[in-house]
Amino acid sequence: MPVRTPYPIALSAVERVRLKKMAYAHKTEHRLRGRAQVVLHAARGRSNAPIAREAGLHLDTVRRWRGRFAQRDLPGLKDASAKHVFWIVDNGSSHRGKKATDRLTAAFSAVVFAGLTVLIALIGLSVVNVPMLTKMGVAAAGTVAIAVLIALTMIPALLGYAGRKVKPAGEKSKLLGGGRGGKKADRPNMGTRWASFVVRRPVAVLLLGVVGLGAAAIPANSLELGLGDDGSQPTSTTQRRAYDLLSEGFGPGFNGPLMIVVDAKDSDSPKGAVAKVTDEIKGLKHVTTVTPATYNKSRDTATITVIPDSKPSSTTTEDLVHSIRDTSARIKADTGATALVTGTTAMNIDFSQKLNDALIPYLALVVGLAFFLLILVFRSILVPLKAALGFLLSVLAALGAVVAVFQWGWLSSLFNVEQTGPIMSMMPIFMVGVVFGLAMDYEVFLVTRMREAYVHGETPSQAVVTGFKHGAWVVTAAAVIMIAVFSGFIGSSESMIKMVGFALAIAVFFDAFIVRMAIVPAVLALLGKRAWWLPTWLDRALPNMDVEGEGLKTLDEDALKDADPHEDRELVRA
C-alpha cells in the first residue's frame, strides 16, 4: 500500500525537475549494469559462467569503493574494469598444465601496464587547470587503481577457490557440465578466421579502415565549440519554455546579455569615457540594444548591458565579444578608461577558449608518456607509434560523427536531438581522457599476445593470428560492455548527457572494432619483423619489463646449453 503523509507536500518546479533527474539516474544505472551483466555472461559461454559472476562481484566492489573518492566519476569506468578480469582469466585458462600462480603471472604485468596508461590519461587532466576536470580525473583514476588492485588480488583468489571447476568455454566443466570434448586451443575460432583474412589481405583491410575513419572525420573540420544554453533543453522543461518566450518577445540575445564594466578612474573625464565606450559598442555589428550606463557612488566606474542579436551559444555572439575587447584597446589609448566584458556568456566563451588552448599540451603529455610506456612494454618503436596514430584517428572520426549529429542535425530524429548547435567545449579533452585509456588497454591486451607468440619463434604473420585468437575476445567483450554503458546515456533528455554518451560510444566502437580489430593486425602483417625493431642502444638502455612473464619461468640449464638460439628469440635475450 502507498504511504500517505498527514500533510500534503508542496514541491516547486525546480524540486520536481531534480526528483525526475534523480529517478532517471537511478533507473539508468540499474539498466546499464544489467546490460554489462548480460555481456559478462555471454562473453565466454556457459562453462565460464562462474567467471561472469566473479566479474560482476568485481564490478560491485569497485562501485562501493569508488564512493570514497567522489560521488560521481567519469561515466562507465567501473564497468571498464571488467576487461582486467577477462584478461587474467583468459590468460590463466589458456595455460592448462601449470599451477594457478604460474598461469596468472603472465597476465599481471599486462594488467598493470594497461592500468598505468589509463591513469596517465586521467591524472593528466590536471594540466588543463580546470578544477572540475581535475577532480573528475583524480576520482576516476582512484577508481581505476582500485579496479586494478582488485583484479590482481580478488580475482586470482576466487579462481584459486574455484579450482578446476572453471574451464575455458567448450570444455566440460565439473561445476556445470556440458561442453564439447577436445582442447579449445586446438580449434580455430572466429578471431582466428578474421585474423587469417586480414593477414592475407592487409592492404585492402588497412585502406578500407583508414578511408572509412577518414571519411567519418571530415565533419570535424567544421567543429564549433561552446557551452550549451537553455535553448538546448527539451521543450517540455520550464527552462526551455522560458528561453523560447524571451527569444520571441525580445530576441535571442536577451537570454545572454553581455555586461561591460568601464573603469574610468584614470580618465580625465569619466563621463565622457563611458559615453565613448557606449558609442563604440553601438557601432558594432550584431548589437541590438545598449542600455544606459549605471555608475557607482564615486562616479568613476560604470556598467553597461549589451544585448546581442544572436543566441548565447552562437559563434556570432563570440565574435561580438572579441570585437568589444578589441575596441577596448583603442578606447584605452584615447580616453585612459578600461572596458572589460563579463557576464555568463562571456565567461562561457573564455572557458571554452581555455580548454581549446589546453588541448594540445594535454595531448602531447598523455600521448608522450604513453608512447614511452608502450616502448617499454613492446620493445618496439613502430608498435607504439601505430597505437598512438590509430587512437588519434578514432577520436577524430568520433568528433566528426558528433558534429554531424549534434551540430549539423544528421539523424537528429533518430537520436531525438531537438536543438542543434555548438559542441560542448569540454568534449575533445573529455573524450581524449576517457577513450585514450580504453584504447591503450585494448592495444596492450591484443598486441601482448602477438608479441609473446613472436618471441617464442612464430613468424610475424603466425604471431598476429595467434595473438588475435587469444586477445580478440577480451577486447570485443570489453568494448561491447562500454558501448552498452555509454549508449544508455543517449536516451537522456539532457542534451549534454546525450552528447557525451553518443560521443564515447561511437569512439569506443571506432577504436575497438576498426582500429584494434582491423588496422592493427593489418599494419603488423605488413611490417612483419620490422614491427618489433628497436635500436640496439635503446634496447640496452631501457629496462626489461618482461610483460610476457617469461622471467618467472624456470629454465633447465641443460636445455639452455643444447638449445638452438635461432629457434626461440626469447632464449637469445635470456
The pLDDT value given to residue 238: 83
**Nine-digit cell string for 555:** 629454465
Query: What would the pLDDT profile of 31-77 be if each residue is shown by its tens digit?
Result: 545 554 444 444 444 344 444 444 444 444 444 444 443 444 455 55
Whether 250 maps to a domain, the answer reads: no
Domain annotation covers residue 243: no
In a domain, 246, yes or no: no
Higher pLDDT, 363 or 70: 363
Q: Same domain for 55 and 178?
A: yes
Lowest mean pLDDT segment, chosen from 65-74, 124-133, 356-365 = 65-74
Shared-domain flag, residues 269 and 131? no
Instruction: Kindly state the percentage of the chain with pLDDT values over 90.
Output: 13
Residue 516 pLDDT: 92
- Each residue of 242-273: pLDDT tens digit? 888 888 888 888 888 899 998 888 888 888 88
Same domain (yes/no): 410, 320: no
Question: Which of 307, 342, 377 is a domain's end point?
Answer: 342
CATH of the domain at 488: 1.20.1640.10
Total domains, the chain = 2
Burial of 64 (0-12, 13-18, 19+ CB in 10 A): exposed
pLDDT in tens, 265-294: 888 888 888 888 888 888 888 888 898 888
Give, for 331, the enclosing helix (H) or strand (E): helix 315-335
Give residue 319's domain range. Answer: 258-342
Residue 6 in this model has a pLDDT that exceeds 50: no
Residues 224 and 291 in one domain: no
The pLDDT, as a whole number, for residue 67 is 43
Same domain, 130 and 209: yes
Cα separation, 291 vs 453, in Å, equals 74
Residue 55, Cβ density class (10 Å: 0-12 exposed, 13-18 middle, ≥19 buried): buried
For the stretch 413-449, pLDDT in tens is 888 887 788 888 888 888 888 888 888 888 888 888 8
pLDDT computed for residue 422 by the predictor: 83
Q: What is the pLDDT of residue 357?
A: 86
Is residue 152 within 8 A of residue 114, CB to CB? The reply is no
- Please report where in the chains the cell 567544421 appears, as a residue: 222
| 9 inside domain | no
Same domain, residue pair 313 and 454: no
Q: Is residue 199 part of a domain?
A: yes
One domain, residues 213 and 264: no
The residue written with cell numbers 539532457 in the block is: 494
Q: What is the pLDDT of residue 539?
A: 81
The 10s digit of each residue's pLDDT in 167-186 is 555 555 444 344 444 455 45
Average pLDDT over residues 351-355: 86
| In a shared domain, residues 205 and 267 | no
Residues 75 and 200 in one domain: yes
Whether residues 73 and 186 fall in one domain: yes
Q: Which amino acid is at 135?
A: K
What distances in angstroms separate CA 271 from CA 265, 340, 354, one per listed residue? Answer: 11, 16, 34
Mean pLDDT lowest for which of 20-29, 151-160, 175-184, 213-222? 175-184
What is the reported pLDDT for 524?
Answer: 92
Residue 570 forms part of a structural domain: no
Domain membership flag for residue 333: yes
Same domain, 414 and 503: yes
Asked if pLDDT for residue 119 goes beyond 70, the answer is yes
What CATH number is associated with residue 291? 3.30.70.1430
Give the ranges where 163-237 is alpha helix by DSSP (H): 190-200, 202-217
pLDDT above 50 (res 298): yes
Residue 212 pLDDT exceeds 90: yes
- To which residue does cell 576466487 refer? 158
Give Cα separations from 179 to 87, 122, 189, 547 (angstroms).
Answer: 21, 42, 15, 32
Residues above pLDDT 70, as percent of the chain: 71
pLDDT at 219 over 90: yes
Q: Residue 301 pairs with which residues in a beta bridge? A: 263
Helix (H, G, I), strand (E, B) or coil at 282: helix
Per-residue pLDDT at 451 exceeds 50: yes
Say if strands 225-226 and 423-424 run parallel, antiparallel, or are unpaired. Answer: parallel
Q: Is residue 3 in a domain? A: no
Question: 341 phi and psi, to 5 degrees?
Answer: -105, 130
Asked whether 143 and 78 are in contact (CB, 8 A), the reply is yes
Tens digits of residue pLDDT in 516-567 = 999 999 999 999 889 888 888 888 888 876 665 555 554 444 444 555 555 5
Q: Are residues 369 and 337 in the same domain?
A: no
Q: What's residue 488's pLDDT?
A: 87
What per-residue confidence (pLDDT) applies to 27? Answer: 52
